[in-house]
Amino acid sequence: MTTPQTFQPSLPLCRPIAVRWADRWREALLAPVAAWHGWREQRRRERRYDAVLDLSPRTLKDIGAPDWVVSHAQSRREVEAHRVDDFRLGVRELPSRW
């Protein structure tokens, strides 16, 4: 007759307190670094997107960009052209004594 064996987990159910504290300290120290890397990656994506929108709509069509990207690039160019025109119209000639 065999005696029943008690359950013994293969993994410890509770980690030692020193290990838990060390993990929390490590997370606290690495959180700002992870946030910084995330911010840098987001800025990198934004710069790439801006670089694509700086291409002419014809170039974007040639490379097979989606229509919404071509439209966005076109509207961006139009807005910039209006800004330049407004600037030119807003500049007044200085009096002759200047």
Flag whether 60 is in a domain.
yes
pLDDT of residue 12: 64
- CA separation, residue 47 to residues 44, 53, 58 (Å): 5, 10, 21
Please give the C-alpha separations between residue 74 and each of 2, 46, 63, 82, 83, in angstroms, as whole numbers: 82, 18, 15, 12, 14
Q: Does a structural domain hold residue 11?
A: no
In this prediction, residue 85 carries a pLDDT of: 74
Strands (E), the chain: none
Average pLDDT, the chain: 84
Q: What is the pLDDT, as a whole number, of residue 81?
A: 84
pLDDT value of residue 94: 57
What's the domain range around 37? 17-53
When divided into structural domains, the chain yields a total of 2
Q: Residue 6 domain-assigned?
A: no
Q: Each residue of 35-68: pLDDT tens digit?
A: 999 999 999 999 999 999 999 999 999 999 999 9
pLDDT(97) > 80: no
